[in-house]
Amino acid sequence: MNGVSLKLSLFLALVLGATPSWGQFSPQAACQSEAAPRTAIYYVNGVTTTLDEARLNGGKLELEFLTRLPSMTPASLQSSCYLFFLNYNPTSGAVKDFTEAGQQRLGINPSDMWRKLETLASLGPTMVSLLQGPMTQANQIDQAAVQRHAEAYRAQMTSPLCRRVVVVPHSQGNLYANAAYDAAVGPSPAPAPAAGALKIVGVATPDTAVKGNGRYRTSTGDLLIGAINVVLPSTLDANTNWGPNPILTSFTPLYSGGHSFMGYLSFDDSRSQILSDIQSSLSEVNAVAVCQ
């Protein structure tokens, strides 16, 4: 994530009226040393997210993480250099079935499909049942993107880079992360990565599990995931929120049906819990010897 993206993320939060949690922070000291281990942190967006929106979300993740980093325990976490990357999912490939279904059934332009669903407070079981296959089945996601993501993770974890990897997917990006996990750590003609070097921390997941014993956070006020859960009870249960007053939160520009990534990382309890999940996942991957 470049400096321009970080500035854009800060600007967006200020314009939208969110209360930023970050202050001034120094560059990572560990990154000044070539000998310090490197850890890759990936943000994975859901479909129908523009590249600029995905970059803003990734910048928000980086800002929140770097603000929290000096207080993270154990102290050994500060000895690693954390590098941030975006695995972008363009709106293309097999996901066209999902957007076309929305256009036909709801009269919504495909480019706006996911965003519109986020804000439909009246989203109900009947509507979701029409779309649940394309939204939640792994065979409906872009397999070329899955392979590209998996190759990126595998390259990070193997020689010559020899890095650990933590993936933070949002919304349908969780489906991509789970599918890419199997491809990244599975059998291959090349040497396999070290076991446990890849962890997932899901946000607003419509899936039934997080691969690799990963963690996740879904808000009780997330209307979209809540509606999917009505039709597919095996969807992972909500386990966080954006604060004690969901009615007040719903009036913020970041609300978007309680589903936006910016919202999840702008309000507590969800923000603190997601960062704690990342912290715990980093402690686990840091204990793994890579390229030994």
Work out whether the CA dihedral 38, 286, 56, 28 comes out positive or negative.
negative
Cα gap 100→139, rounded to integer Å: 16
Residue type, 241: N
Domains of the chain, residue spans: 3-17+26-286
Spell out the CATH class of 3-17+26-286.
alpha beta
> What is the DSSP code string of 170-225?
BTTHHHHHHHHHHHHHS--SSPPPPTT-EEEEEES--SS--TTT-EEE-BTT-HHH
Confidence band for 206, pLDDT divided at 50, 70 and 90: confident
Asked if residues 286 and 77 have their Cβ atoms less than 8 Å apart, the reply is yes
Q: Which of 53, 15, 18 is nearest to 252 (CA)?
A: 18
- pLDDT for res 291: 85
With a pLDDT cut of 70, the percent of the chain lying above it is 69
Confidence band for 164, pLDDT divided at 50, 70 and 90: very high
Q: How many CB atoms lie within 10 A of CB 150?
A: 23
Q: How many CB atoms lie within 10 A of CB 107?
A: 8
- pLDDT for res 96: 47
